[in-house]
Amino acid sequence: MLPYFAEEFGNAASRTHAYGWRAEEAVERARGQVASLVGADPREVVFTSGATEANNLALLGSARALRRARGEKTLRIVSCGSEHRAVLDPLAALEREGFRPALLPVDGAGRLDPDSLRAALVEPALLVSVMHANNEIGAVQPIAALAQLAHEAGAAFHCDAAQSAGALALDANALGADFLSLSAHKLYGPKGIGALIVRRRAPHARLEPILHGGGHERGLRSGTLPVALCVGFGRAAELARDRRDEDAARHARLRDRLWARLAEELPELALNGPPPGPERLPGNLNVSFLGAEGEALLAALPELALSTGSACTSAKREPSHVLRALGAGELRALSALRFGIGRGNTDAEIERAADLVVAATRKLRALSPVWDELRRA
């Protein structure tokens, strides 16, 4: 990335001189690298500022385009209650425009039953949006089956794949989504850059821009591209593709070791999300430490980088909407911690983390009247 911050400072949209040509070449190389990560055509990659913008472009842009194409008769959009706020908030915005979002329930592990979607699509819908893997609980959804149901019902299908890209094998053709959202920083790339994959031959992939001013990215996303960030995204995607299987196996092993230590040494734990295995992201662990508040545990564990939910909503002190969507009560939701295990973590760090969490939980439980009640029960 470094040369493109100063030495190669051309604008990729400048077609009249060599500086712009070199910048464009770098961006197109990155576009190909991102496309290769998910089995897409480079011409299907629309660079954005991140997955939040990609989700907004997919939802707002497709809903408005489909309404324009089909008229006002069908304004329904189907999703589920455990989605990221970058999907739920645009759906709320669309509701203010007259669209009718329908949020389907998930099961106790956070998965959407295809039969639930099939039943929901008896009533016509313009669009279905389901994330591939949940950012808080790691639940992996059966996207190919869900996309097929949406298409059979005449609806477009959007998938937020920010969490799964680089962690799971993704093939855009096999998934069948019309729109696929990605974010560079989720696979060790720079922050502030992402992409929306817009399938070129998908009959339902209608889209109109939500940003105007120059017609960049084939008219779908205006704005001067940050060449250095595009380059970083491309290289991160290439590394993630090459290391994916090795990383996934290692992250799953470390995650399973951490869960084993916690479960062995602490009673009254609740695993949130699917059990470890193919239906859960390899590096994700979400645990409720009943009798100890999650916020108190965070304060007691300054050596560890943990969260009680999504980083995008960490400023809000309230139970995770994802855990509530699973049917978790307030006690369980407020005592949850999310662990993210990544490329830089070591076996020694896992053991150290387990030691710290066990000690902090025992200390907080000893002071908690809630824990006394749980023990008596």
Domain with CATH 3.40.640.10 in the chain: 2-238
Nearest to 236 by CA among 195, 199, 281, 175: 195
Each residue of 93-123: pLDDT tens digit? 999 999 999 999 999 999 999 999 999 999 9
Each residue of 161-172: pLDDT tens digit? 999 999 999 999
Average of per-residue pLDDT across 226-249: 97
Above 70 in pLDDT, residue 310? no
333: left (phi over 0), alpha (psi -120 to 50) or beta: alpha
Contacts (Cβ under 8 Å, ≥6 apart) of 323: 136, 137, 272, 286, 288, 309, 332, 333, 336
CA distance 315 to 101: 26
Give the architecture-level CATH label for domain 244-376.
Answer: Alpha-Beta Complex (3.90)
267 with 292: CB under 8 angstroms? Answer: no
Average of per-residue pLDDT across 70-80: 89
Residue 80 structure tokens:
């589920």
Residue 119 structure tokens:
């039943």
Instruction: Report the pLDDT value the prediction gives residue 38, as an integer from 0 to 100.
Output: 98
Quote the percentage of the chain above a pLDDT of 90.
88
CA distance 373 to 155: 50
Q: What's the mean pLDDT when you consider all of the chain?
A: 94
CA distance 259 to 246: 20
* Beta-bridge partner residues of 139: 280
Each residue of 268-303: pLDDT tens digit? 999 999 999 999 999 999 999 999 999 999 999 999
Above 60 in pLDDT, residue 329? yes
249 with 169: CB under 8 angstroms? Answer: no
312 is catalytic: yes
Instruction: Report the pLDDT value the prediction gives residue 203, as an integer from 0 to 100.
Output: 83
CA distance 8 to 296: 48
267 with 290: CB under 8 angstroms? Answer: no
288 by Cβ neighbours in 10 Å (0-12 / 13-18 / 19+) ranks as buried
Above 90 in pLDDT, residue 370? no
173 with 145: CB under 8 angstroms? Answer: no
Which residue matches tokens 């992201």? 281
Instruction: Report the pLDDT value the prediction gives residue 312, as an integer from 0 to 100.
Output: 54
Long-range contacts of 29-32 (CB under 8 A, 24+ apart): 29/231, 29/234, 30/230, 30/231, 30/233, 30/234, 30/235, 30/237, 31/230, 31/234, 32/234
CA distance 275 to 22: 48
Each residue of 122-163: pLDDT tens digit? 999 999 999 999 999 999 999 999 999 999 999 999 999 999
Kindly indicate the confidence band of residue 358, based on its pLDDT and cuts at 50, 70 and 90: very high
Instruction: Report the pLDDT value the prediction gives residue 315, as an integer from 0 to 100.
Output: 52
Kindly indicate the confidence band of residue 319, based on its pLDDT and cuts at 50, 70 and 90: confident
Kindly indicate the confidence band of residue 201, based on its pLDDT and cuts at 50, 70 and 90: confident
Which residue matches tokens 């695993």? 271
102 with 112: CB under 8 angstroms? Answer: no
CA distance 135 to 340: 10
Nearest to 270 by CA among 286, 254, 256: 286
Residue 182: φ, ψ to 5°: -135, 155
Kindly indicate the confidence band of residue 311, based on its pLDDT and cuts at 50, 70 and 90: low
Catalytic residue among 80, 159, 230, 312: 312
Quote the percentage of the chain above a pLDDT of 70.
98
In what order do the strands lie in the sheet containing 269-271? 269-271, 284-289, 336-340
b/e map 145-160, b = 16+ CB within 10 Å: ebbebbbebebbbbbb
Instruction: Report the pLDDT value the prediction gives residue 318, as an integer from 0 to 100.
Output: 77
Give the architecture-level CATH label for domain 2-238.
Answer: 3-Layer(aba) Sandwich (3.40)
* Beta-bridge partner residues of 157: 128
Domain with CATH 3.90.1150.10 in the chain: 244-376
* Beta-bridge partner residues of 337: 287
Above 90 in pLDDT, residue 313? no
CA distance 358 to 356: 6
